[in-house]
Amino acid sequence: MLLRTKHETANDRRKAETRYVVTETMMSVASQAPLLLEVVAAGPQHWRSTFLRTFPGVAIDASISDRIFAFFCQQVQLRYGHGVRASQVLDTMVVPSTPTQREIDNAWEVESFSSEEGRRYFYGPDGHPEEIIKRLVN
């Protein structure tokens, strides 16, 4: 969030916006391992063109873009070791597939922190909320 002061100029706002965009982009990409690896594996030219195209109204040039890319490369080296290429790590990474609707439905679990007596009082003789839900759904 950008805070504005009374005597802020347009140049000050542009600097603050640029600082915000750069910081948020660095934190967002660096915090997501697959995205970080994809950015580094794609190379500096691809990063530069994508980054500059994404933020056309912000005071960012190729040198800032290149420094951000260098930061990403450094993050890959720190996490995976020197000499390891991002594409190698990407090839070994297992990306989970999107769950099917059946898997989502089966993953629902009702948690009850009530006593056995309390569950029987609220949910009937069997005392399980899952049974109530199954009867209501079916």
Q: Return d(Cα 116, Cα 137) in angstroms, integer.
A: 24
Q: What is the pLDDT of residue 71?
A: 96
Same domain for 68 and 132: no
Residue 5 falls within a domain, yes or no?
A: no
Q: Amino acid identity of 89?
A: V
Residue range 22-61, pLDDT digits in tens = 999 999 999 999 999 999 999 999 999 999 898 887 888 8
pTM for the model stands at 0.62
* Average per-residue pLDDT for the chain: 83
Range of the domain at 111: 101-137
Residue range 84-107, pLDDT digits in tens = 888 888 888 877 788 899 888 887
Q: Return d(Cα 45, Cα 84) in angstroms, integer.
A: 20
Count how many domains the chain has.
Answer: 2
Q: Return d(Cα 137, Cα 131) in angstroms, integer.
A: 10
